[in-house]
Chain A
Amino acid sequence: MKTFSDLIFREGFRYTEDHEWVGTAAEHLEVGVSDYAQDQMGDIVFVELPDEGAVFAKGEQFGTLESVKAVSELYLPVGGEIIEVNSALGDSPELINSDPYGTWLVRIKPADPGQIEQLLTADAYRQMLQG
């Protein structure tokens, strides 16, 4: 496992206490998991994601990540409709390990884009982990 100083934090993304990140793209938001989360999980072997078109409230579980001996639940940081799931993850779940911030899990159309402002900044997230 990485030491704290080796962990990467992507500036400009917003984070949740459950270690998801949210990035803003043109018309939608992208959601992934942080470097800390993938490092804690170890080799990710399977990703379960929802159907496109599904609608979730903020904080609702929308999928799971699995390593060999652990299951981690994924919670949607901002409520909205799933407009796209990352189909590459079906065959290559290891992308999350190798490039956690370049690998989004789902793209969502937020019901209330203002919710993103309630999430942690990279700094606040770093501080939270440092406890």
Chain B
Amino acid sequence: MRYLPHTDEEIAAMLAVVGRNSLDELFCSIPDHCRYQGEMPLPEALSEWQLEEHFAELGEVMTVGSRHKVLIGAGSAHHFIPESIRALLSRSEFLTAYTPYQPEIAQGTLQGIYEYQTLTARLLGMDVANASMYDGASALAEALLMALRIGRKKSRVAVAGSIHPHYRQVVRTYLGPAGYELVELPVGPEGRCDLSALGDLGELAAVAVQSPNFFGVVEDLELLGQQIHQSGALFIVSFSEPLAFGLFKNPGECGADIACGEGQSFGMPRSFGGAGLGMFACREQFVRNMPGRLVGETLDRQGRRGFVLTLATREQHIRREKATSNICSNQGICAMTAAMYMASLGGTGLRRLARLNYDKAQYCQERLGQVGGKVLWNSPVFNEFVIEFAERDFGPVRQRLLAAGIVAGLDLGRFYPEHAGRYLFGITETVDKAVIDRVAEEVEK
């Protein structure tokens, strides 16, 4: 086996040093009743070439492949990824390193993560971003738990019904067993978060909204923030498409106390939903309540600038059950990816790309409107929108488009029974006008 360097002679020599007669004898401290019986029922080992063959077969049974145009976002977006990022990520100095606990030989990771934190904080308009969480869903759950810590005696939080349904499910999983109460706020008539019930909900530690929300609708975060703050709750902004903040006001300038979401669209492939990136940022006053790793600037003994993991007393390896979270790892290489992507785009590029995404989705929405699609809400959207084909059955159209290599939208009934038969479309810079026109033509047929 090519990953195991030991020759039989070396094994014999090493066994002699440790005073054992066989490899089995090394395990003498294991009682019989704990031992594995027989051989593990696993398939035969494959050579590297057989393994490649096996993966080629797995790829072939995917009836939607990389050449398809998948017009779905819903928390997993397709954007172009420059080859320069792929090449840099394959550097094993980044990829095969552990958490930077020895800063003298991990300055590459540490400076990279410090830059990630800084660019993320600037993007979201927040004071401090951490070194990342698992994904947008757990980041939201952790944000709510953080707000409950800050709110001390408060035990209730509210989340908008227009937040990604899976994020809300994860929040329920995280908050349930500790006895916290979770309230869902309704989706208003324009597909935006409806806060009218806020006054009747009693003391809330936090209210979380998503923008752009699950329907692609851009929320009026400033207005929501004011109302939420008036109620005495912390204001949490969730997101699944950070590119939007290249065009729209960021959470910080709208008053958010915590901003968190999914960063997959910054340079990571969809990869069946992972690995992605939980971006997490807050106001400075809350930093000691923050979950997750943080990198900070300092000096070495010769006075040179360097970076270290810091404020670790918040974390589980020191504070154990009183830690701000049980999280230990971060999505390290994904955070590096996002930083590389933000650096490659630059401020100018980010604004341009965000605008391009806006225009494409806008065009698609209008084009489908012209051929009988009914745009459900008049609210502004980014990248995604909901459309209904009331007069035609969209099923056969969708089948024809699939045969042409286009996956046309996501049936919302899966997540919102009241919206069954309505479709959530996701359009990015990867979708040419010709593809959008093709969809419209097929609807018109």
Contact = CB atoms under 8 A, between A and B. Distances in A.
Contacts of B322: 71
A87 to B, nearest CB: 16
Contacts of A46: 288, 313
Contacts of B288: 46, 48
A87 B428 CA distance: 52
Categorize the interface residue count of chain A: under 10
A66 B318 CA distance: 10
B435 to A, nearest CB: 55
Nearest to A70: B318
Interface string B303-322: 00000001011000011001
A68 interface: yes
B144 to A, nearest CB: 23
A68 B319 CA distance: 12
A90 B318 CA distance: 22
Interface string A39-51: 0000000101000
Contacts of A67: 313
B320 to A, nearest CB: 9
A48 to B, nearest CB: 8
Contacts, number: 17
Interface in A71-116: 71
A48 B314 CA distance: 12
Contacts of B313: 46, 66-71
Contacts of A71: 313, 318-319, 322
Nearest to B308: A68
Nearest to A48: B288
A21 B318 CA distance: 25
A69 B310 CA distance: 9
Interface string A48-70: 10000000000000000011111
Interface in A8-61: 46, 48
A117 B312 CA distance: 38
A68 B312 CA distance: 7
Nearest to B310: A68
Nearest to A68: B312
Interface in B287-329: 288, 310, 312-313, 318-319, 322
B297 to A, nearest CB: 15
A111 to B, nearest CB: 23
Contacts of B312: 68-69
A70 B322 CA distance: 13
A70 B313 CA distance: 6
A66 B312 CA distance: 10
Interface in B172-197: none
A48 B288 CA distance: 10
Interface centre among B288, B318, B322 (most CB of A within 10 A): B318
Nearest to A65: B313
A69 B322 CA distance: 15
Nearest to B319: A71
Contacts of A48: 288
Interface centre among B310, B312, B313, B318 (most CB of A within 10 A): B313
Contacts of B318: 69-71
A72 B318 CA distance: 10
A4 to B, nearest CB: 27
Interface of B: 288, 310, 312-313, 318-319, 322
Interface of A: 46, 48, 66-71
Given A68-B313, A70-B318, 14 more contacts: A46-B288, A46-B313, A48-B288, A66-B313, A67-B313, A68-B310, A68-B312, A69-B312, A69-B313, A69-B318, A70-B313, A71-B313, A71-B318, A71-B319
17 contacts: A46-B288, A46-B313, A48-B288, A66-B313, A67-B313, A68-B310, A68-B312, A68-B313, A69-B312, A69-B313, A69-B318, A70-B313, A70-B318, A71-B313, A71-B318, A71-B319, A71-B322
Closest 10 CB pairs of A and B: A66-B313, A71-B313, A71-B319, A71-B318, A69-B318, A69-B312, A70-B318, A46-B313, A70-B313, A68-B312
